[in-house]
């Protein structure tokens, strides 16, 4: 039987089985019905019998047609979270279309890339600079940073198919994965999952955080990880080439992209203003989505990007559809009292009275790390598992914002343990420079070091900031 058909039958069969079961005591029938559809959608995101937008449009159609709840199915399309993610995708496309992202990377190589180790730090810095603007690891690291450093490896005669991969290519490929998952934790706009996790925190634990609060909170542990990781990977998996003629590589790159165009200059100016807008949101009371939409609007009005290019950004539109869809279903569950019921159920069966909240937090984070082996999609992990973790945190009186920030770090960094845990891994691992066993070994070491930094340094820093 066709594999996709089997996956489709699972995605339909499990919700049908749930619907045939009686509604649990204390839960409204509508909440149980919506949970069945939600679980089917989550299975669809994990198994992917069809593309993600098709999964969610189908789920929304079931909610609207079968349960006559059209407003519930479409509710999140009018919320700020999906629009923030969509705008960030298009802004990221602006960096690709104008060539500004490439120019930034070549500039850093030109000024600082004299050795292999320094190039590792330049790769990290390039990813970090681009991360506030591009919420997709695949678009940021796979679409912008990877092509530049792959070309650099080839220029230095390091190829995956002739025994020269260890010259420098292997080091750069595995390191770019580590860098990408770390920078993905550092800004709300650096990862598409972050606004969703904040939304779930707000719904389940009644807590919220601004763009600048997030950036400040993640700056210390995140920058420390970016400081440690290139050197750690360099020691674990050292490149054969130690010194690099960075000036020649940079000049070749400059010739390829030409002089700075009008669109690049405008984008650079607009993006600086956007960063200021995000950073001062707590003062101006202008939310992150408003700033992102204003930036997107100005990019189109100044012809930095055309509407035709916006329409052609398939990843942005696809993400917007299924992202808003899954949030709509989660919102419906919340309003129907599902998470309150789940919290009561946990409190009846898990007696954690007297246990230190930090120990409980550590246990919850350990669980989020272990289960990452089962997920090839970070968003599927978030919509499946994070509501349960937050509900357990709520009934155990775990501080909400530390739990949010730690699970955000875990959702990204625990993906390092495999080559399939995040989509950008398939790009970088797929280049063929690093054996799977080596990839997994380095990923486990860096994950353990990074999560230790977040748990010890991060929690201490968040205490200083007054976040718990």
Residue 300 has pLDDT above 80, yes or no: yes
Residue 22 is given by DSSP the state: P
**Predicted confidence (pLDDT) at residue 93 exceeds the cutoff of 70:** yes
Are the beta carbons of 295 and 42 closer than 8 angstroms?
Answer: no
pLDDT band at 307 (very low <50, low <70, confident <90, very high): very high
List Cα–Cα distances, 374 to 279, 370, 385, 390, in angstroms: 36, 9, 11, 19
CA–CA separation, 425 vs 415, rounded Å? 9
Structure tokens at 341: 């019921």
pLDDT tens digits, 224-255: 999 999 999 999 999 998 988 888 888 888 88
Who's near 290: CB < 8 A, 6+ residues apart?
A: none
Q: What is the pLDDT of residues 183-223, one digit of tens each?
A: 999 999 898 889 989 999 998 999 999 999 999 999 999 99
Q: Which of 106, 210, 127, 108 is nearest to 176 (CA)?
A: 127
User: Residue 374's CB: how many other CB atoms inside 10 A?
Assistant: 12
Those residues with Cβ within 8 angstroms of residue 359's Cβ, 6 or more apart along the chain or in another chain = none
Nearest to 414 by CA among 454, 455, 370: 370
Annotate 399-466 with three-state secondary structure: CHHHHHHHHHHHHHHHHHHCCCCCHHHHHHHCCCCCCHHHHHHHHHHHHHHHHHHHHHHHHHHHHHHC
How is residue 461 written in tokens?
């820093």
Q: By C-alpha distance, which of 182, 186, 181 is closest to 226?
A: 182
**pLDDT band at 1; cut points 50, 70, 90:** low
pLDDT, mean of residues 119-132: 91
Strand residue runs (E) in 241-358? none
- pLDDT reported for residue 96: 78
CA distances from 196 to 107, 330, 376 (A): 34, 10, 18
| pTM flag (> 0.85) | no
Place of tokens 């979270």: 81
Instruction: Enter the tokens of residue 50.
Output: 């069809």
CA distances from 467 to 75, 123, 149, 207, 464 (A): 30, 31, 38, 10, 8
Contacts of 353 (CB under 8 A, 6+ apart): none
Mean pLDDT of all residues in the chain? 89
How far is it, in rounded angstroms, from Cα 323 to Cα 321?
6
For the stretch 97-108, pLDDT in tens is: 888 878 887 888
60: which 2 tokens? Answer: 């929304």
Give the pLDDT confidence of 413-467 residue by residue, as tens digits.
999 998 878 878 878 888 889 998 999 999 999 999 999 999 999 999 999 999 9
130, 179 contact by CB (below 8 A): no
Give pLDDT, residue 352: 66
356-379 pLDDT tens trace: 889 999 999 999 999 888 776 788
Cβ neighbours around 163 below 10 Å, total = 8
Predicted confidence (pLDDT) per residue in 19-66, tens digit:
999 999 889 999 999 999 988 988 888 788 998 899 999 999 999 999
| Per-residue tokens: 183 | 């920078």
CA distance 430 to 419: 9
């Amino acid at each position: 039987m066709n594999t996709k058909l089997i996956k489709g039958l699972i995605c339909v069969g499990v919700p049908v089985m749930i619907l045939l079961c009686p509604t649990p005591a204390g839960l409204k029938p509508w909440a149980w019905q919506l949970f069945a559809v939600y679980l089917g959608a989550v299975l669809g995101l994990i198994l992917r019998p069809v593309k993600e937008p098709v999964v969610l449009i189908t789920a929304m159609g079931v909610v609207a047609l079968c349960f006559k709840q059209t407003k519930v199915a479409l509710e999140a399309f009018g919320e700020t979270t999906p629009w923030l993610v969509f705008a960030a995708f298009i802004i990221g496309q602006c960096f690709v279309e104008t060539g500004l992202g490439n120019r930034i990377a070549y500039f850093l190589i030109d000024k600082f890339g004299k050795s292999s180790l320094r190039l590792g730090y330049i790769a990290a810095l390039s990813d970090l600079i681009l991360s506030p603007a591009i919420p997709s690891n695949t678009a940021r690291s796979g679409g912008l940073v990877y092509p530049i450093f792959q070309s650099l490896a080839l220029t230095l005669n390091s190829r995956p198919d002739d025994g020269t991969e260890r010259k420098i290519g292997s080091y750069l490929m595995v390191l770019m994965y580590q860098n990408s998952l770390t920078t993905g934790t550092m800004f709300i706009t650096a990862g598409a999952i972050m606004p969703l996790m904040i939304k779930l925190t707000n719904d389940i634990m009644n807590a919220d955080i601004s763009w600048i609060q997030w950036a400040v909170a993640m700056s210390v542990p995140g920058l420390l990880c970016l400081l440690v990781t290139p050197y750690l990977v360099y020691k674990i998996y050292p490149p054969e080439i130690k010194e690099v003629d960075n000036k020649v590589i940079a000049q070749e790159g400059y010739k390829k992209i030409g002089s700075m165009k009008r669109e690049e200059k405008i984008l650079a100016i607009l993006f600086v203003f956007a960063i200021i807008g995000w950073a001062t949101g707590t003062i101006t009371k202008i939310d992150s989505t408003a700033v992102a939409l204003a930036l997107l609007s100005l990019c189109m009005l100044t012809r930095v990007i055309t509407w035709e290019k916006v329409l052609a950004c398939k990843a942005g539109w696809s993400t917007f559809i299924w992202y808003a869809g899954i949030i709509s279903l989660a919102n419906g569950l919340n309003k129907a009292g599902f998470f309150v019921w789940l919290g009561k159920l946990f409190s009846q069966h898990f007696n954690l009275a007297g246990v230190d909240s930090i120990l409980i937090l550590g246990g919850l984070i350990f669980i989020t790390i272990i289960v990452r082996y089962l997920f090839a999609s970070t968003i599927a992990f978030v919509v499946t598992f994070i509501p349960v973790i937050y509900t357990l945190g709520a009934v155990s009186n775990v501080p909400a914002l530390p739990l949010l920030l730690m699970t955000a770090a875990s959702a990204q960094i625990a993906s390092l343990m495999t080559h399939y845990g995040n989509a950008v891994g398939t790009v970088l691992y797929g280049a063929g420079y690093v054996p799977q066993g080596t990839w997994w070994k380095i990923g486990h070491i860096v994950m353990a070091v990074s999560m230790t930094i977040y748990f010890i340094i991060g929690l201490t820093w968040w205490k200083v900031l007054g976040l718990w």
